[in-house]
Structure 1
Amino acid sequence: MRFGITILPEYRWSDAAPKWRAAEQLGFDHAWTYDHLTWGGLQDSPWYGTTPTLTAAALVTSTVKLGTFVTSPNFRHPLALTREILALDDISGGRFLCGIGAGGGIDTTILGGPDLTPRQKVNRLTEFTELLDKLLTSDGVDHRGEYYETRNGRTLPGCVQQPRVPFVMAANGPRSLRLAVKYGAGWVTTGGKGDDLDSWWGSVADLSHRMDDVLEGRPFDRYLSLDSTVYSLSSADAFEDAVTRAAKLGFTDVIAHWPRAEGIYAGTESVLEQVATEVIPRLR
Structure 2
Amino acid sequence: MAEPKWRAVEEYGFDHAWTYDHLGWRTLVDGPWFGAIPTLTAAAMVTSRIRLGTLVATPNYRHPVPFARGLLALDDISDGRVVLGLGAGGSSVNGYDDTVLGQPPPPVRARVARFGEFVELLDLLLSQERTTWRGEHFAAVDARSAPGCVQRPRMPFVVAANGPKTMRVAARFGQGWVTTGTDRDDDAAWWRSLAELSRRFDDTLAATGRPPTAVDRYVNLDAGPVYSLSSAECFRDAVGRAAELGFTDVVAHWPRGEGVFAGHESVLETVATDVLPELERSRSPR
TM-score (norm 2): 0.92
Select 1:99's aligned residue among 69, 85, 94.
85
Matched, 1:281 2:281: no
Select 1:222's aligned residue among 196, 204, 217.
217
Cα distance between partner residues in 2 of 1:122 and 1:281: 40
Matched, 1:130 2:155: no
The one-character-per-residue Cα deviations of 1:73-106 (angstroms, maximum 9, x if unpaired) are 0111000011011001000000000000001222
Give structure 1 stretches of 5+ with no counterpart. 1-12
* Shift, 1:146, TM fit: 0.8
Cα distance between partner residues in 2 of 1:140 and 1:214: 31
User: Residues 129 and 20 from structure 1, CA distance in 2 versus in 1: closer, same or farther, beyond 3 angstroms?
Assistant: same
Give structure 2 stretches of 5+ with no counterpart. 281-286
Match of 1:52 in 2: 38
Match of 2:283 in 1: none
* Shift, 1:140, TM fit: 2.5
Match of 1:197 in 2: 187
Cα distance between partner residues in 2 of 1:145 and 1:254: 34
The one-character-per-residue Cα deviations of 1:139-194 (angstroms, maximum 9, x if unpaired) are 23222221112221111110000000100000000111111011010001111132
Cα distance between partner residues in 2 of 1:40 and 1:276: 28
Matched, 1:23 2:9: yes
Instruction: Write the letter of the residue equivalent to 1:23.
Output: V
Match of 2:284 in 1: none
* Shift, 1:109, TM fit: 2.1
Select 1:161's aligned residue among 151, 159, 162.
151
* Shift, 1:39, TM fit: 0.7
Please give the root-mean-square deviation of Cα atoms over the aligned residues, in Å. Answer: 1.1
* Shift, 1:123, TM fit: 0.2
Where 1:233 maps in the other structure, the secondary structure is coil
* Shift, 1:124, TM fit: 0.3
Q: How does 1:197-276 map to 2 (within 5 A)?
A: 197-216=187-206, 217-219=211-213, 220-228=215-223, 229-276=225-272
Where 2:178 maps in the other structure, the secondary structure is strand
Select 2:52's aligned residue among 66, 76, 95.
66
Match of 1:145 in 2: 135
Select 2:170's aligned residue among 180, 203, 214.
180
Cα distance between partner residues in 2 of 1:257 and 1:176: 24
Cα distance between partner residues in 2 of 1:81 and 1:43: 22
Where 2:212 maps in the other structure, the secondary structure is coil
Cα distance between partner residues in 1 of 2:183 and 2:27: 16
Cα distance between partner residues in 2 of 1:83 and 1:264: 33
Where 1:53 maps in the other structure, the secondary structure is helix
* Shift, 1:23, TM fit: 0.3
Q: Which moved more, 1:91-100 or 1:213-222?
A: 213-222
Identity among equivalent positions (%) equals: 59
Where 1:70 maps in the other structure, the secondary structure is strand
Where 1:81 maps in the other structure, the secondary structure is helix
Cα distance between partner residues in 2 of 1:231 and 1:269: 13
Instruction: Write the letter of the residue equivalent to 2:120.
Output: E
How many residues in Structure 1 have an aligned counterpart in Structure 2? 270
* Shift, 1:279, TM fit: 0.9
TM-score (norm 1): 0.92
Runs of 4+ in 1 over 6 A off after TM superposition: none
